[in-house]
Chains A and B, each alone.
Chain A
Amino acid sequence: MTRSTPTPSELSVEFWSAAAKHRLLVPYCGGCGIRYFPPERLCPGCGEPGWHYVESTGTGRVVAHTVVHRALSPDFATPFVLATVEVDGEWTMLTNIVDCDPDQVAVGLPVRVRFLDCEGGALPCFAPESSAGSPPDRTGQRP
């Protein structure tokens, strides 16, 4: 059971390269000043192509979540939490909430990025802020 990073596009190769080093990046548009996700060639805020990646704080809160009991792939141990997380108070991404009891996850739960090392790099997952005392780069864990 091994999870892996996706095949990056020319828009996302920098995101995944940084993730492999446990850094969470997000597209930032200098023109209109917004952060957005996933990456698009033209900024969804103003339609301009002049964006670049910036470092995220890696902190956020859960805005939607589901506990998945049936995975399509044996690479995923069940149950696991799939969630929409609002990061930096501004942009949202799909992710997994890890290192906690799935029943502990609730809308509004403060979370912090926790990288899951895997084949091809690392996946930015999130864990409850309350468990942030543990090392952020533990390897081999699965949601």
Chain B
Amino acid sequence: MALRDVAIVGLHATEQARRLPHRTALDLAQEAVFGAIADAGLRPADVDGVAADWPGPGGTVDESASWSRSLGRSLNWVGEGMLDTAGARGVMKAAAAIAAGLCDVAVVGGGLSGRFGGRGPVGVAVAEVEFVDVWGAYSIPLFALVAQGYIRRFGTTPEQLATVAATIRNNGSSNPEAMMYGKGPYTVDDILASPLVATPFHLLDVCITGEGGGAVVLTSLERARDLPHQPVAVLGAGMEFAGNHGMPPLDYRTVGRLGAAAAQRAFGAAGVTARDADVLALYDPNSFELLRQLEVIGLCGEGEGGAFVDDGHIALDGRYPTNPEGGCLSYSWNGTQHMTLKVAEAVRQIRGTAVHQVPGAEVAVVANAGSGTRHYEVVVLGKA
């Protein structure tokens, strides 16, 4: 069995909000996991592989095997640790485990509450990072360092970055599931008029923070044929690391093209190119990082992202609708499971059940993280 013989068959997104004071992280994670299993038309005891957040109480914090008792069975495979429980990385590792015959049905996901919500424009690292925190650095300025080098080299305008932010935010404005539903719509001028956070980023150029959960279920394509939903195959995948998360210092010279090699491998395995994609679910912690990814996945050349965006390609009615649900800029950023929600959105698009449905979507690209965090994961999903 190869990666492409594995399919995503179930998904669940919990409510997403700036704060969910009535929810615990475990409550959100369990809603997400059991919701995704039910959506797949499976029973909890069918799941023998788990890469899902376990925040406690009960079990052992961050140990996926803690799910064994909730699922009512022993497990054949677990994934855990940094991002293995979420998004493109979680999906490709679970798919690889299924393809290798280590397990039959795997769930990836989790949830978060009470940690990031309501604490301003960005999530705060819990652990101290030496040679980073002491300079007042956090994720927005770290991405900004990369963006500044790009802008200096290629002359990208503030309006082009703001176009990215306005496009994605306006998708979320009309998505009832989005944290920022009903806010906006935003013009380029609105983005530029919002307060500066770290040059070149204004407040509306960067993602929101909040709480929520999400999960997806995978199994073999063969088994997927007997399940209720249109299977979505994992056509190809790749990941790339330019050092460890948060390793200082950062600049465009060293991390600017991060992800290009991973994307090339993912598309090579999938037998398609970025130009075959019908919809994109790219990581959007800020406007620049999304623009950068349009280049590294191969939709346009290095330095051409601004013009590509000016041409309207990433809009809902463009050739490559991007983050139709509102992305991290408007739908949800909740610690790590917003990455799983990007997978869920891509699956909904291919099923034909998305809020902002791209007509006839069959191929989707999902990617996590980026230059400012030194890691990049990309999966190509397709109608099976």
Between B140, B196, B198, the greatest number of chain A beta carbons within 10 A of the residue's beta carbon is seen for B198
Q: Is B248 in contact with A38, judged by CB distance below 8 angstroms?
A: yes
Between A3, A71, A84, the greatest number of chain B beta carbons within 10 A of the residue's beta carbon is seen for A84
How far, in angstroms, from A92 to B255 measured CA to CA in the complex?
A: 14
Contact partner, A82, options B122, B131, B198, Cβ 8 Å: B198
Whole-angstrom distance between the Cβ of B244 and the nearest chain A Cβ = 10
Residues in A whose Cβ lies below 8 Å from that of B199: 66-67, 69
Give the contacts of B194-220 with A (CB-CB under 8 A).
195-200, 203
> Is residue B226 contacting chain A, with contact meaning CB distance below 8 A?
no
Q: How many residues of B contact A (CB 8 A)?
A: 37
> Is residue B152 contacting chain A, with contact meaning CB distance below 8 A?
yes
Contact partner, A6, options B133, B138, B148, Cβ 8 Å: B133
Between B131, B135, B137, B197, the greatest number of chain A beta carbons within 10 A of the residue's beta carbon is seen for B135
Q: Is A94 in contact with B252, judged by CB distance below 8 angstroms?
A: no
Q: Is B120 in contact with A123, judged by CB distance below 8 angstroms?
A: no
Residues in B whose Cβ lies below 8 Å from that of A53: none
Q: Is B145 in contact with A65, judged by CB distance below 8 angstroms?
A: yes
- Chain B minimum-CB-distance residue to A76: B136
Q: Is A64 in contact with B141, judged by CB distance below 8 angstroms?
A: no
> Is residue B44 contacting chain A, with contact meaning CB distance below 8 A?
no
> Is residue A49 contacting chain B, with contact meaning CB distance below 8 A?
no
Q: Is A66 in contact with B195, judged by CB distance below 8 angstroms?
A: no
Whole-angstrom distance between the Cβ of B158 and the nearest chain A Cβ = 14
How far, in angstroms, from A92 to B253 measured CA to CA in the complex?
A: 12
**Known interface pairs A6-B128, A38-B248; A66-B134 also in contact (CB < 8 Å):** no
Using an 8 Å CB-CB cutoff, how does the interface string of A73-102 with B read, 1 for contact, 0 for none? Answer: 101100010111100000011111000000
Q: Is A6 in contact with B131, judged by CB distance below 8 angstroms?
A: yes
> Is residue A52 contacting chain B, with contact meaning CB distance below 8 A?
no
Whole-angstrom distance between the Cβ of B133 and the nearest chain A Cβ = 7
Contact partner, A66, options B130, B198, B247, B248, Cβ 8 Å: B198
- Chain A minimum-CB-distance residue to B251: A64
**Known interface pairs A64-B145, A94-B131; A70-B198 also in contact (CB < 8 Å):** yes
> Is residue B249 contacting chain A, with contact meaning CB distance below 8 A?
yes
**Known interface pairs A7-B128, A64-B149, A64-B252; A95-B195 also in contact (CB < 8 Å):** no
- Chain A minimum-CB-distance residue to B248: A94
Contact partner, B134, options A3, A68, A85, Cβ 8 Å: A3
> Is residue A107 contacting chain B, with contact meaning CB distance below 8 A?
yes
Q: Is B144 in contact with A66, judged by CB distance below 8 angstroms?
A: yes
Give the contacts of A53-73 with B (CB-CB under 8 A).
63-73
- Chain A minimum-CB-distance residue to B201: A66
Task: Supply 12 A–B pairs (Cβ within 8 Å), ascending by A.
Answer: A7-B130, A64-B145, A64-B251, A68-B141, A68-B144, A69-B195, A69-B196, A69-B197, A72-B136, A73-B136, A92-B249, A107-B149
Using a CB–CB cutoff of 8 Å, the interface residues on chain A facing chain B are 3-9, 12, 37-38, 63-73, 75-76, 80, 82-85, 92-96, 107, 123, 143
